[in-house]
Amino acid sequence: MAAITCPADCTDALPAVLFSDCSPEVNLSEIVAIFLSKGSSTPFTDWKVASEWTQRMGTPANADDKIIALSVIGDKPVPGKQEIAISNFRKKTLPKDHSINFEIDESNDTNHDFVRNMECGGSFRVWYATASGHLFGGNQGITKSTINIDMSLERGENSVQKYPGTITWKSKHTEERVTAPFPVM
């Protein structure tokens, strides 16, 4: 998928579509993994290449380009859209408010300390993967995002400790998507 370039003039763009009566493509949508790196990390040269992911996930924990993977249950609702009225009865759409809601359900000591450290804040690059095997985020990842994560202890005999969180950001466009170059589940 290429980056989207919107027309600078008033011409309408009518991009291609593809539908099939006999063999329609549908994709599972649940977010199953979130990938994080430091905001100061180098963007991917080509995020579609498995070896670049393998190399970055295998680097030492304190390396600038280190990527960590979170195994999650998650969703991405329709982004919030805000239009403003401008002169001559025109409307302008501002960058949309995107969010990912996720939950970590493995509550070992390492993951608990991860949550506690994330409460400090910071700048991160974010990518996410769905059960269909799609990866979202592009070479840059999702930047200028806010990550909030907490602990949830529910009532009940079979309740387990969980870490629910949200990732929020503003962007005009939906994230780039590719088939993940590695197994996501």
Answer for the pair 68, 140: CB distance below 8 angstroms, yes or no: no
Answer for the pair 77, 94: CB distance below 8 angstroms, yes or no: no
Distance of CA 151 to the CA centre of its chain: 21
Please give the pLDDT value at position 157: 94
pLDDT, tens digit (0-9, with 9 covering 90-100), for 36-87: 999 999 999 999 999 999 999 999 988 989 999 999 999 999 999 999 999 9
Distance, CA of 104 to CA of 153 (rounded, Å): 13
Sign of CA dihedral 31, 182, 170, 106: positive
Please give the pLDDT value at position 69: 97
pTM recorded for the entire structure: 0.91
pLDDT, tens digit (0-9, with 9 covering 90-100), for 99-119: 999 999 999 999 999 999 999
Q: What percent of the chain has pLDDT over 70?
A: 99
Answer for the pair 115, 150: CB distance below 8 angstroms, yes or no: yes
pLDDT at 22 over 70: yes
pLDDT at 7 over 90: no
Distance, CA of 34 to CA of 38 (rounded, Å): 14
Q: What is the DSSP letter of 13?
A: P
Answer for the pair 35, 127: CB distance below 8 angstroms, yes or no: yes
Please give the pLDDT value at position 160: 94
Please give the pLDDT value at position 2: 65
End-to-end C-alpha distance for the chain, whole angstroms: 23
Please give the pLDDT value at position 185: 80
* Full DSSP string of 27-95: ----EEEEEEEETTSPPPS-TT-HHHHHHHHTS-TT-TT-EEEEEEEEE-PPPB--EEEEGGGEEEEPP
Please give the pLDDT value at position 116: 96
Answer for the pair 151, 163: CB distance below 8 angstroms, yes or no: yes
Q: Using alpha carbons only, how large is the chain's radius of gyration in Å?
A: 19
pLDDT at 5 over 80: no
Distance, CA of 44 to CA of 141 (rounded, Å): 8
Please give the pLDDT value at position 36: 96
pLDDT at 1 over 80: no
User: What's the average model confidence in pLDDT over 123-138?
Assistant: 97
Question: 87: which 2 tokens?
Answer: 């002169």
pLDDT, tens digit (0-9, with 9 covering 90-100), for 135-180: 999 999 999 999 999 999 999 999 999 999 999 999 999 999 999 9
pLDDT at 26 over 90: yes
